[in-house]
Amino acid sequence: MKPFITFFFCTALLCTLSAQELEKPDWVRLVQLGKTLPDTLDSYFGIGASTLSQADADARAREEFAFNIEARVQNVISRSVQETDNVLKDEYSASAKVSSDVVLRGIRVSARYEDRDVKLFYALIQIQKSVFDTLLVTEIRRDLERKKAENKIKEAQRAEDLRSRQAELDLARKEQETREQEIELERKQYEDFLKLSPPEQVIDLRNGEIARNGCTLALKAGLTPFEIQSAFAVLALSRFELSANTYFQSDKVLKGGADIMTRQQAALKVQLLDQAGQFYKASLAFGVVGYANAARFSAFDSVKPTYSVFVSGDVGLPTFLYSFASFNVDGRKISFGVNSFPMPGYLKDAVSVLFQVDYVWNKDWRDRFSDPLLFQSGVRFRASEAFSTSFTYEGHEFLVFTVEMGL
């Protein structure tokens, strides 16, 4: 009985193995035996095997299929590009990635098999070469048409960008031309003013200009009461200017006595900008000023001067009452002033109206009322390039007559 049972089980096992072997596809058996699949001349193949999953076997089959058809795909892509649009050659690369993206999108797995005994998954992709070539050409040409459409859109966008850029350039050019025309009209309107030589000072504010005459002397006299108030001398060379001032005030005015009070200063100026600009012309200078203040002229021997850096400048303002605006700042005060030429077309620079405001933080240089804010005004008459006179109201109390002469 036992031999019979053993024979029965062996026979059943052999039948089972034979049945499983019969169920195994021929392509799987050939793969396991390492043999070549039939119809290799008529078809393209891709076989994948995986112990992980059927999806992984499918992916491996696609990778092998793509590898096997790579040369064919490159050849067809190159020919299709040349036939369709040679311009796309550089953009449409015949690479394996293109094969996967463009060609494999229409390829399906032909067969699958799971070997449960060894837990191995198989996948087969097989397609006849003629069918594949038709599918390949169709897919590639479809993709090429899409790229051509994209290129047309890009070209249209580039052309629109160029038109927009050209329009912006044309608008900017027209605006520039309009601005140049406006400047030219302003130049003609203010031509007489633009020809004027800028003033070197307002009342006692010397700006960023250098004295036009090589040597200039000036003398100021008070008219109410009459007295010599200051003497001024300047020596100019190229962009350098050396100046000196001495101020006098009779003690009769201050204290009813007969002695004299005085202030002195000397300055060295270097010009940085000389009438820079076309319409609003500006000058800028800097330098060093030394100054001293003594209660009496005889006391200067015991007074030590103070030194300070200063900055000065001026700018022509044709549209503001035909004026030049000036400033000067040093360690004592800051000054602003305006020289206005009322009729430059007829009077040239023969007549100018002067206005100056000073903020004095150094108490030794304030007026006898100790006012920190000082307003001064006047009028200047210029007879020639070298000679001028002026009447000014200074120090909140003095009417002053000034004579200036260039040598």
Rounded mean pLDDT, 175-183: 87
Cα 111 to chain centroid distance, Å, stands at: 65
Selection from 89, 69, 91 nearest residue 78 by Cα: 89
Report the CATH superfamily, name and number, of domain 24-156.
Answer: Acetamidase/Formamidase-like domains (3.10.28.20)
Residue located via tokens 């463009």:
102
CATH topology of domain 197-406: Porin (2.40.160)
pLDDT recorded at residue 247 = 83
Local confidence band at 301 (pLDDT 50, 70, 90 cut-offs): low
CATH code 3.10.28.20 region(s) in the chain: 24-156
CATH 2.40.160.40 domain range(s) in the chain: 197-406
Across the range 82-98, mean pLDDT stands at: 50
* Three-state secondary structure call for residue 149: helix
**What mean pLDDT do residues 137-150 have?**
79
User: What pLDDT is attached to residue 35?
Assistant: 73
Task: Tell me the per-residue pLDDT of 17-34, one tens digit each, with 9 for 90 and over.
Answer: 444 555 788 888 877 777
The pLDDT value given to residue 253: 45
Residue 232 and residue 367: Cα distance in Å, rounded?
19
Cα–Cα distance measured from residue 55 to residue 146, given in angstroms and rounded to the nearest whole number = 31
The residues that bridge with 380 in the sheet, in sequence order, are 352, 390
Query: What is the 3-state composition of the chain as percent helix, strand, coil, each rounded to the nearest 5?
Result: 40, 35, 25
Question: Exposure of 209 by Cβ count < 10 A (0-12 exposed, 13-18 middle, 19+ buried)?
Answer: buried
Sequence-ordered list of residues with C-beta below 8 angstroms from that of 125, at least 6 positions apart, any chain: 44, 45, 46, 47, 61, 62, 64, 65, 107, 108, 109, 110
| Mean pLDDT (whole number) for 155-160 | 90
In percent, how much of the chain has pLDDT > 90?
A: 37
pLDDT at 148: 82
Q: Is the pLDDT of residue 390 over 90?
A: yes
Higher-confidence residue of 375 and 18: namely 375
Q: Band of the pLDDT at 206, cuts 50, 70, 90? A: very high
pLDDT band at 69 (very low <50, low <70, confident <90, very high): confident
pLDDT value at 374 more than 50: yes
pLDDT tens digits for range 241-270: 999 998 876 554 444 444 455 788 999 999
Q: What is the pTM of this model?
A: 0.57
